[in-house]
């Protein structure tokens, strides 16, 4: 009899403790959300205005590259979640698209993985690129710190606009080392490269930007414009009806406008849950608790975009083309505390943008999570420098925990961003539009 009572008591104890731990996770999460005032992402209606139309044309326009062979969309494939599926990006002087893209002979991939372009309009985003080399500095005299230094043009509206100019002047991104055009343009381009390329980098950048601007809209006063220049002038005039002279900042602001509208991803289950519209399944709740409580991933992957937009090292060390170590943020600040640090990536839509990390060295989310627990590889020459700057968890994570963490990351995914309307069927130059077929991507 006593045994039976004991069995019942033990059973009741286990039952209630299992039930209460389930309730606990849920209850814990609700309290955590309330205490930390976690809110859904802002969701303004998309305004497809004339500035957006201009930006859309420019994003897919190969006239932005020296030899008319590369556009922003060549690497940021809209139908491939704004990225290219490559470990390291291949720009001017490459062929094929997406995972099949290869560098032509004599060219090499860039040093870093192509970042996705989701939600960069958000006010939280004040530093762009893996190393933050484009940064808002509203207190300073030039407002934006960029590789253009003090020559950054006036009139840029935000960090995203300042960023847009950098791929244009970056070698092997949109810019080529040599010109291979035809006719008069080839003569002009060659002369430009001959006269300026090795003179002074800041001047060369400005001269080069005005070459690209001229190619699109010609000089002011509508004389002698080609039909393509006339089309672009019309687009600029509609986008900026109060202006008669256009600058490279007008081009940059339009590119930013297109990206902030087209790549805003607002329909995640997480946001719907925060609005009280849906329930959160059990595995996802467990994952959320591991994320916010046990492992405090949100120490870095914080706020609405799941990034602090600050710089950390989790031990991903990579070599550049020239075989030197990619020093990350240190290359921008020259401050030793920034050695090997990279900007925390946002985790919205991270499920869709493999491979991972600044060097694209990690193929799966599972391995990306493990990397935070394993850190620098002991057998590498740079192990010592790496361990000095490294963040690493003390205890190893369990495999079943990784699985539920990934369930939580899937809760941050918004597939509805793939809308074919964002890809134009043609651009004013008539050059091909680089994009993958949506059916290839979705299957």
Q: Contact with ligand HEC (CB under 6 A): which of 41, 161, 209, 369?
A: 369
Task: For ligand HEC, give the closer residue by CB, 63 or 350.
Answer: 350
Q: How far is the CB of 158 from ligand HEC (least distance, A)?
A: 11
CA–CA distance from 309 to each of 87, 130, 267, 347, 350 (Å)? Answer: 22, 10, 22, 12, 15
Tokens 């976690």 sit on residue: 38
Tokens of 423: 């890809």
Q: Contact with ligand HEC (CB under 6 A): which of 36, 380, 391, 437?
A: 391
Tell whether residue 163 is a contact of ligand HEC (CB under 6 A).
yes
Tell whether residue 156 is a contact of ligand HEC (CB under 6 A).
no
Map the footprint of ligand HEC across residues 105-144, applying CB under 6 A: 110, 112, 114-115, 117, 120, 128-131
Question: What's the CA gap between 159 and 407, in Å, rounded?
Answer: 32
Tokens of 439: 């059916």
Tell whether residue 75 is a contact of ligand HEC (CB under 6 A).
yes
| Binding window for ligand HEC (CB under 6 A); candidates: 205-213, 343-351, 380-388, 426-434 | 343-351
Binding mask 297-336 for ligand HEC (x = CB under 6 A): x-xxx----------x-x-x--------------------
Contact indicator for 263, 29 with CB cutoff of 8 Å: no
Tell whether residue 263 is a contact of ligand HEC (CB under 6 A).
no
Q: Is the dihedral of CA 306, 311, 312, 316 positive or negative?
A: positive
Contact indicator for 324, 317 with CB cutoff of 8 Å: no
Tell whether residue 262 is a contact of ligand HEC (CB under 6 A).
no
| Binding window for ligand HEC (CB under 6 A); candidates: 9-17, 214-222, 228-236, 341-349 | 341-349
Tell whether residue 386 is a contact of ligand HEC (CB under 6 A).
no
Binding mask 92-111 for ligand HEC (x = CB under 6 A): ------------------x-
Query: How far is residue 181 CA from its own chain's centroid?
Result: 31
Task: For ligand HEC, give the closer residue by CB, 295 or 422.
Answer: 295
Contacts of 256 (CB under 8 A, 6+ apart): 55, 157, 158, 160, 161, 163, 164
Q: Contact with ligand HEC (CB under 6 A): which of 54, 152, 332, 357?
A: 357
Task: For ligand HEC, give the closer residue by CB, 285 or 369.
Answer: 369
Contacts of 61 (CB under 8 A, 6+ apart): 71, 216, 427, 428, 429, 431
Q: Contact with ligand HEC (CB under 6 A): which of 174, 412, 418, 436?
A: 174
Q: Which of 228, 239, 246 lies closest to 61 in space, CA to CA?
A: 228
Tell whether residue 339 is a contact of ligand HEC (CB under 6 A).
no
Q: How far is the CB of 250 from ligand HEC (least distance, A)?
A: 14
Q: Which of 328, 340, 336, 307 lies closest to 126 in space, CA to CA?
A: 307
Q: How far is the CB of 6 from ligand HEC (least distance, A)?
A: 41
Task: For ligand HEC, give the closer residue by CB, 189 or 405.
Answer: 405
Tokens of 227: 């039909």
Q: Which of 72, 57, 175, 53 lies closest to 116 in space, CA to CA?
A: 72
CA–CA distance from 171 to each of 162, 191, 274, 417 (Å)? Answer: 17, 18, 44, 30
Task: For ligand HEC, give the closer residue by CB, 13 or 38.
Answer: 38
Task: For ligand HEC, give the closer residue by CB, 63 or 357.
Answer: 357
Task: For ligand HEC, give the closer residue by CB, 23 or 228.
Answer: 228
CA–CA distance from 364 to each of 99, 244, 300, 350, 402 (Å)? Answer: 15, 50, 20, 10, 12
Tell whether residue 189 is a contact of ligand HEC (CB under 6 A).
no
Map the footprint of ligand HEC across residues 231-260, applying CB under 6 A: 255
Q: Contact with ligand HEC (CB under 6 A): which of 344, 349, 389, 429?
A: 344
Question: What's the CA gap between 327 and 223, in Å, rounded?
Answer: 49
Q: Which of 91, 51, 97, 53 lies closest to 78 in space, CA to CA?
A: 97
Contact indicator for 348, 265 with CB cutoff of 8 Å: yes
Q: How far is the CB of 7 from ligand HEC (least distance, A)?
A: 40
Tell whether residue 208 is a contact of ligand HEC (CB under 6 A).
no
Question: What's the CA gap between 259 and 317, in Å, rounded?
Answer: 30
Tokens of 36: 């930390």
Q: How far is the CB of 305 from ligand HEC (least distance, A)?
A: 10
Contacts of 351 (CB under 8 A, 6+ apart): 365, 406, 409, 410, 412, 413
Tell whether residue 173 is a contact of ligand HEC (CB under 6 A).
yes
Judged by the rule CB under 6 A, the positions of this chain that interact with ligand HEC are 64, 70, 72, 74-76, 89, 91, 110, 112, 114-115, 117, 120, 128-131, 160, 163-164, 167-168, 173-174, 255, 295, 297, 299-301, 312, 314, 316, 342, 344-345, 350, 353, 356-358, 365, 368-369, 372, 391, 405
């Amino acid at each position: 009899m006593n045994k039976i009572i004991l069995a019942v008591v033990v059973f009741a104890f286990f039952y209630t403790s299992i039930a209460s731990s389930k309730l606990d996770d849920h209850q814990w999460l609700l309290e955590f959300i309330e205490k930390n005032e976690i809110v859904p992402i802002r969701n303004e209606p998309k305004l497809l205005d004339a500035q957006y139309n201009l930006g859309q044309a420019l994003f897919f326009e190969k006239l932005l590259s020296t030899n008319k062979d590369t556009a922003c969309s060549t690497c940021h494939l809209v139908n491939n979640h704004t990225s290219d599926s490559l470990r390291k990006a291949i720009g001017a002087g490459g062929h094929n698209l997406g995972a099949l893209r290869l560098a032509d002979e004599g060219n090499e991939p860039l040093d870093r993985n192509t970042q996705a372009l989701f939600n960069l309009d958000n006010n939280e985003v004040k530093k762009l690129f893996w190393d933050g080399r484009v940064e808002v500095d509203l207190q300073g005299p030039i407002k934006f710190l960029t590789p253009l230094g003090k020559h950054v043009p006036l009139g840029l509206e935000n960090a995203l606009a300042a960023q847009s100019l950098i791929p244009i002047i970056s070698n092997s991104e949109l810019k080529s080392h040599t010109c291979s055009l035809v006719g008069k343009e080839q003569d002009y381009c060659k002369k430009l490269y001959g006269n300026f390329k090795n003179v002074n980098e800041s001047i060369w950048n400005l001269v080069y930007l005005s070459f690209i601007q001229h190619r699109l809209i010609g000089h002011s006063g509508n004389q002698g414009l080609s039909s393509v220049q006339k089309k672009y002038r019309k687009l600029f005039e509609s986008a900026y009806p109060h202006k008669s002279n256009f600058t490279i900042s007008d081009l940059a602001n339009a590119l930013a406008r297109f990206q902030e509208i087209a790549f805003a991803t607002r329909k995640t289950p997480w946001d719907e849950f925060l609005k009280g519209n849906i329930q959160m399944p059990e595995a996802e709740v467990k994952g959320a608790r591991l994320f916010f409580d046990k492992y405090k991933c949100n120490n870095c992957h914080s706020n609405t975009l799941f990034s602090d937009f600050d710089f950390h090292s989790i031990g991903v060390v990579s070599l550049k083309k020239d075989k030197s170590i990619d020093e990350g943020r240190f290359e921008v600040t020259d401050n030793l505390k920034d050695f090997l640090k990279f900007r925390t990536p946002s985790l919205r839509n991270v499920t869709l943008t493999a491979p991972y990390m600044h060097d694209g060295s990690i193929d799966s989310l599972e391995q990306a999570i493990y990397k935070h627990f394993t850190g620098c590889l002991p057998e590498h020459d740079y192990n010592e420098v790496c361990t000095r700057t490294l963040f690493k968890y003390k205890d190893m994570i369990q495999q079943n925990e990784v699985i539920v963490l990934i369930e939580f990351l899937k809760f941050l995914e918004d597939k509805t961003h793939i809308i074919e309307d964002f890809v134009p069927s043609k651009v004013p130059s008539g050059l091909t539009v680089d994009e993958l077929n949506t059916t290839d991507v979705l299957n």
